[in-house]
Amino acid sequence: MKPLLTKIYGDQVGAIADRRLHSLLGHHPIKAEKHQPRFSESDTILITYGDSLQSPDQLPLVTLHQFAERFLSDLFSTIHLLPFFPSSSDDGFSVMDFYQVDEKLGNWADIEKLGSGFRLMVDFVLNHISAQSDWFNRYLGGEPGFENLAIAVDPTVDLSLVTRPRALPLLSEFKKRSGEKVHLWTTFSADQVDLNFQNIDVLEKMVAVLLFYVGRGAAILRLDAVAYLWKEIGTRCIHRPETHAMIKLFRAILDKVAPEVILLTETNVPHRENLSYFGNGRDEAQMVYNFTLPPLLLHAFIKADSTVLTRWAETLKLDSPANTFFNFTASHDGIGVRPLEGILPPDEITFLADWVVNNGGRVSSRKNPDGSESPYELNITYLDALRDSRQDPDAFHIRRFLASQAIQCSLPGIPAVYIHSLLGSRNWQEGVALTNRARTINREKLNAPLVASELGDRTGFRAKVYHAYAEMLKTRRAQPAFHPNASLTVLHLGHSVFAFSRSCESQTILSLTNLSADRVLVSIPDTRGMGRLVDILTKKAFRSSEVILNPYQYLWLCEERRKVV
């Protein structure tokens, strides 16, 4: 740890920080595992809020646990429980107390019950804290250990270089109890005050939080908005070397006391910048969000053209087996479009934004250094993003969506599925009207008994999505070739087909997906001498070297002699 602390803080302060962190580690004994993190083809992650499912007269975490036991246990190894702490805004991300469970959701015992059947992924919201938190109140009071908690900036200083993820003001005015007015750094909102990691009191407090989560059973720690962690006036204040050193510090701490815990960086930025958070392959994050996948996959289906997607997929090769991608298409946030920079021209991003608006969605913007605004995020459920509003009704809506998920589930990495994608949720327009926030459109609170009833009706929209998706996930989890680090070979089989093979020592799977509404004839390549093939999803055998793909059909082809699960 000491070399990293010296790099961040210099010799003198780094030495003090080193002593304090070693003392902290001594007061937080955690049983160290002997093995390093290992990924598996059975790794699948559900993303959900603690209250995405609700039942009358029952705490939401109890409801989630019961629903998970009934509908999710065969599908997922891990549940990403979005911030379940007391919060003042942003659906949990304005944390008021890092150590408590929001009593409206449940308690730590409920979290532990959920963790008895699934590994837990927990948000480490380390960039900011609620302006209504006790910590921030103590900062306003100038209490020892809290006097430098936040980042005060002279409002006349030129901050035009700072990368902005929002169109909101960067600085917010507060009044200390002494009467002094201060302008504090607030990257995301006036209710989310950025923490000052240049102060080792803040570092010590947040490392204590990290250790607390590990002690409570967190198997994966999601480093929320970590790219903005370190501020240096006169720079872009994103991807700073100190930020990377800080993540390496967290990794070094965990390697010492809990090497089985995985760090996942949430960095909604262009693809090449995103990959930098792997470090040298073994010293920084073990997983990064594959942020380019959601918008690029959407674009490929809308255009019925695999050209750009295929070219990008050829870059999905990592140097270290200790790393992998967190593959997702939907999450609690919208579909970020910054990761398309350098991949698609601006007019194609505008095309995507217009498509989403036509499908009932919203477009959130960010402020550029020159004062202009540009699309930052498309707010819509992924299911409705893939609806063709030109067709009424859209006969291929569900099939097109499932085809997109088949790609997500078969690419290198670990698939992460948002609960509203799994359950076939549509745009929640009533929620947007209620909160006046675009992101609410895919954060609906569902009635769990009603959802369970709907899943029992196999003819209903929600059931059609869930049951097909569930079978896909069960099948995927049993295939060695879908190990997150199994090899990838991208194939060029025509502009309307996205094709690739995944291989390990015991198995090769050929993934074919028709991105179009037309029937397409595909010549199956000879992949590692594969013989007669069978689609492991439908158990249908193919005796010819040519296959006709129906509109939006997807196949996972494997040698027939292989065991089909």
Catalytic residue annotation: 224
DSSP string, 409-443: HHSSSEEEEEHHHHTT----HHHHHHH--GGGGG-
Place of tokens 């990064």: 288
User: Whole-angstrom Cα distance, residue 346 to residue 19?
Assistant: 50
Q: Which of 544, 534, 543, 542 is nearest to 564 (CA)?
A: 534
The dihedral through the CA atoms of 112, 116, 118, 119 has a sign that is: positive
DSSP string, 522-541: EEPP--TT--SEEETTT--E
Q: Determine how many CB atoms are found less than 10 A away from the CB of residue 314.
A: 12
User: Whole-angstrom Cα distance, residue 89 to residue 93?
Assistant: 7
CB neighbour class for 434 (10 Å; exposed up to 12, middle 13-18, buried from 19): exposed
CB 136 within 8 A of CB 195: no
Can you tell me whether residue 441 is helix, strand or coil?
helix
Q: How far is CA 235 from CA 9, 160, 232, 239, 334, in A?
A: 18, 9, 6, 10, 27
Place of tokens 């030129």: 158
CA 383 to chain centre: 17
User: Whole-angstrom Cα distance, residue 550 to residue 560?
Assistant: 22
Cα separation of the two ends of the chain: 46
User: Whole-angstrom Cα distance, residue 448 to residue 352?
Assistant: 33
**Residue 4 token pair:** 């990293």
Q: Which of 497, 481, 446 is nearest to 564 (CA)?
A: 481
Can you tell me whether residue 262 is helix, strand or coil?
strand
Residue 563 — φ and ψ, nearest 5°?
-70, 130
Identity of residue 123: D
User: Whole-angstrom Cα distance, residue 85 to residue 66?
Assistant: 21
User: Whole-angstrom Cα distance, residue 443 to residue 445?
Assistant: 7
